[in-house]
Amino acid sequence: MACLLPLVRLAWLGAQGGLGANPIEYITRSTGWWTLSFLMITLSITPLRRLTNLNWLLRLRRMFGLFAFFYAALHFGIYLWLDQFFDWTEIVKDIAKRPFITVGFAAFVLLLPLAATSTNAMVRRLGARRWQLLHRLIYVIAILGVVHFWWLVKKDITEPVLFACVLAVLLGARLAWRMRKARTGGDTLPSAVPR
Amino acid sequence: MLIRHPSDIAPSEITPREVYRHRRAFLRSAGLLAAAAGAGGLLTSTAPARGATRLAGLRQSPFSTDEAQTPYKDVTTYNNYYEFGTDKDEPADNAHTLKTRPWTIAIEGEVRKAYSIGVEELLKLAPLEERIYRMRCVEGWSMVIPWVGYSLSELIKRAEPTGNARFVEFVTLADPRQMPGLAYPVLKWPYVEGLRLDEAMHPLTLLCVGLYGELLPNQNGAPVRVVIPWKYGFKSGKSIVKIRFTATQPRTAWNIAQPREYGFYSNVNPQVDHPRWSQARERRIGEFRKRPTLMFNGYAEQVASLYAGMDLKKNF
């Protein structure tokens, strides 16, 4: 429920006239920011679980991922409706011509199959291995999302840099673990030889 | 003489009826909670809190547009003034530290009569006019603002530029004690802008000391700024301390920061896109649908001749 607070806040600000002079820009930015934040939260579950051994964290992962999709869908919907008013020729031109929109759109399209295969039934249908392989797309999506933010900012790139740092830590941790596993895996091989 | 008091008009009266109707129709069709809330934000613009000194006896200008004026509250809370922070609401929150008295402007460089002028004297140099101009930001939004001031040429003429003077440079205050944004090297400080001499002498180019019939609020560039309505907003330097006449083209803040994206001229031009976004349309603050951007921001009749024969794609 707490994950809905950003949306409630926007609705409340809207009712109070607190969205500033350019409300459409404000809600577009806000939903985009929360999409990135939920992507980061989703990606932090696995490292957190490893560090703390709290296995119940894993059950939250799907919900956080779906909230990332939820805010991404709002963000994209606001762009289509309030920003462009379904002017399809403009939208197609935007997506094709503006690199920051191209990568943002790509990230959203890649999120679609992940959201669609988020149910237990879909995990079973795909098989755990294929499902996991597909869901590694989140790494690509998160990178595209941060690039999207970075490229749209006029000059003050503080926030995109912060997101990039968080993402680098989250992906770096995975890489480090994988490398260590490969190394220790290599070391354990000889010991696996019958003595 | 016609004296108008624009502040006596409530923002609700300024907003044309069809805009209201459009909003209502829009609200009815809005199913999305957040979107409906966003629309609500537009309907409930509260009465602005004023405090600045009123300027009396303003002349009306033939250059004024009769388009609906952007509410005072939006004009004074949605600002790009990086010396006070890079978010739009930060200048209004932070600019109270700016000390606008005493204030002098130095006029120097390629002139026969270099001089310094205090802001009080500046206010009396020529009759103050109200000029309602369109303002188009390079980011794709626009406003209609009733500025107060007079043509910059009044100031320039007194300095008697020499034959070598081909450009004018505007240097903005850069005092880290008054301007928290200077702690970050987002742009090269001080913020410098510039014009060709003929652009600076053009009657539309305004030396601006007020808006909505009052002295300029700090976040809008107090105590004195320039307004060049046919160029993107960032060309209109704020809180000016020095006006320098030069033989060579000045290096300007945004051009130094990103030369590929912000040219020296930066005339509003719907046919020349910013490398990262389109400039064909704009969102007028307070409106939902974007409107087409006009060549030279609708001032083509007055200024197009300044650029006759120039490739505006190259000289963006």
Tell me which of B88, B276, B291 to substitute to probe the interface with A (most A C-beta atoms closer than 10 Å): B276
> What are φ and ψ of residue B313, in 5° steps?
-70, -40
Q: What is the mean pLDDT of chain B?
A: 88
What are the boundaries of each domain within chain B?
A: 48-307
Token readout for B17 is: 């009826």
Task: Write the pLDDT tens digit of every residue in B253-285.
Answer: 999 999 999 999 999 999 999 999 999 999 999
Determine whether the interchain pair B46/A24 forms a contact, defined as Cβ–Cβ distance below 8 Å: no
- pLDDT at residue A159 above 70? yes
Backbone angles phi, psi at B65, to 5 degrees: -95, 155
Q: How far is CA B216 from CA A131, B74, B124, B143, in A?
A: 61, 14, 16, 16
Q: Do B285 and A22 touch (CB under 8 A)?
A: yes
Instruction: Indicate if the alpha-carbon torsion angle A97, A99, A104, A110 is positive or negative.
Output: positive
pLDDT score at B52: 66
| Residue range A44-86, pLDDT digits in tens | 999 999 999 998 998 899 999 999 999 999 999 999 999 998 9
Does the distance separating the beta carbons of A7 and B33 come in below 8 Å? Answer: yes
Indicate if the pLDDT at residue A103 is higher than 90.
Answer: yes
The predicted-structure confidence for A115-125, as pLDDT tens digits, reads as follows: 999 999 999 99
Please tell me the distance from the alpha carbon of residue B112 to that of residue B110, in angstroms, as a whole number: 7
Report residue A2's pLDDT band, with 50, 70 and 90 as the boundaries: confident
Q: What does the pLDDT read at residue A120?
A: 93
Nearest to B37 among A15, A83, A85 (CB): A15
- The closest CB to that of B88, out of A20, A23, A24, belongs to A20
Query: What's residue B17's pLDDT?
Result: 42
CA distance B315 to chain A (A): 21
- Residues B312 and B316: their CA atoms lie apart, in Å, by 5
The third-level CATH classification (topology) of the domain covering B48-307 is: Sulfite Oxidase; Chain A, domain 2 (3.90.420)
> Tell me, what's the pLDDT at B53?
82
pLDDT, position A18: 87
pLDDT at B32: 38
Q: Are B38 and A155 a contacting pair at CB < 8 A? A: no
Q: How far is B171 from chain A (nearest CA, A)?
A: 20
Q: What is the mean pLDDT of residues B70-92?
A: 97
Query: DSSP character for B264?
Result: S
Q: Which amino acid is at B38?
A: G
Contacts of B215 (CB under 8 A, 6+ apart): B52, B53, B55, B209, B222, B223
Residues of B within an 8 Å Cβ radius of A = 32-46, 70, 73-74, 77-78, 82, 86, 88-89, 139, 141, 184, 186-187, 257-258, 273, 276-278, 281, 283, 285-286, 288-290
A20·B45 Cβ contact <8 A: no
Kindly give the pairing relationship between strand B141-151 and strand B206-211.
antiparallel
